[in-house]
Amino acid sequence: DVFNGISLSDFAEASQIASYEFYQLMLFAMRDNYPKTAGVMPWVFKRPWTAVGIQLVDGSGFTIAPYYSVKNAYAPLSVMLRLPEMCFAAGEEIPFTGVIFKDGGKGLSGKLRVTVYSPRLLKSFESITDFDFTAEKTELFCGSFTLPEEFEDKAFIVSAALETEDKTVKTFYFPKCLKELSDDKARAARREAPSPNPIYKNGPWLKETVQSAGTTEIAAEVVETHSENGKSIVKIALENKGVLPAFPVKLAPAPGASEEIPLFYLSDNYFLLEPNETKELVLTSAGGNLYDGFEISGWNFKAVTLSL
């Protein structure tokens, strides 16, 4: 019954976003628990390296949403929030412990900004914590947030943005506040041992939450194109010009584009672009015709078409 009325494209989109969340949570948990987890990628025990599976690319070889959560989780510089759960009850307090991972022993300083966006995509909480460390991993307590009643039976978004002088690295989460967890005994029983995932027959749905909150505006332009080691490199500047975060910001061939567009990957994709935020997106391709049309699209803004 859950799948009645859903189109194939909507089902593919929903499964990709859910997979993005699953891989992000799993891989950051493995990094956080290193060396107990040995630091290996969890799906390659029986697969000859360097094969790639359908959980990361589609049938034509183009990268899909989970590819980018894997890429970001294993990046040389990344940040996670050690959230105790992904489903909460109204009135619960969520502590935010940020964990920063980096390669090498050079010093790193900056700010860790944690933001909670309500189901209406309005800023409900923000904390800014300074950091300055040299270790490959550090932990920061970034405050806590008590879920108000208006969050009940709705999804919401939490962003962790690591801001340094040179770059911003971000990880985002979409927890849920569930009425079924409002009973203290039932909630404790569910959490004291591994339990099946909840089945959301009537929501809350993340896409519905984002779409019903209002719209924002995304501006995008190509700022540089060049060739490097036989590959085509395109740099694209994005800006969220509205007062609401945009999600998921996705670049893909525009509808009706030629099937001859060569395989490509991006520095990031399916990401959260916060109000007034700017971001540079880098597209890398094996070459060939990239001028047939690309599109920046998402759930709560008008799509932007680009000629690369």
Query: pLDDT (tens digit, 9 = 90+) per residue, 65-116?
Result: 999 999 999 999 999 999 999 999 999 999 999 999 999 888 999 999 999 9
Measured from the Cβ of residue 304, the count of other Cβ atoms closer than 10 Å reads 20
Q: What angle do CA 173, 237, 273 make, to 5 degrees?
A: 20
Instruction: Kindly give the residue spans of alpha helices, DSSP state H, lying in 173-288.
Output: 184-191, 206-212
pLDDT value at residue 54:
67
Give the chain's end-to-end CA distance (angstroms, integer). Answer: 43
CA atoms within 13 A on the CB side of 247: 28
- Predicted confidence at residue 110, as pLDDT, reads 97
11: CB partners within 8 A, 6+ apart: 3
> Does residue 138 have a pLDDT over 90?
yes
Which pLDDT does position 107 carry in this prediction?
94
Over residues 289-308, mean pLDDT: 87
The per-residue pLDDT for 272 is 98
CB 301 within 8 A of CB 246: yes
pLDDT at residue 287, rounded to an integer: 75
Percent of the chain predicted with pLDDT > 90: 69
* Predicted TM-score (pTM) above 0.75: yes
**Using CA atoms, how far apart are residues 128 and 132, in angstroms rounded to an integer?**
14
More confident residue, 7 or 214: 214
Per-residue pLDDT, averaged over 188-205, amounts to 86
User: What's the rounded mean pLDDT across residues 10-33?
Assistant: 92
For residue 29, give both structure tokens: 């948990």
283-301 average pLDDT score: 86
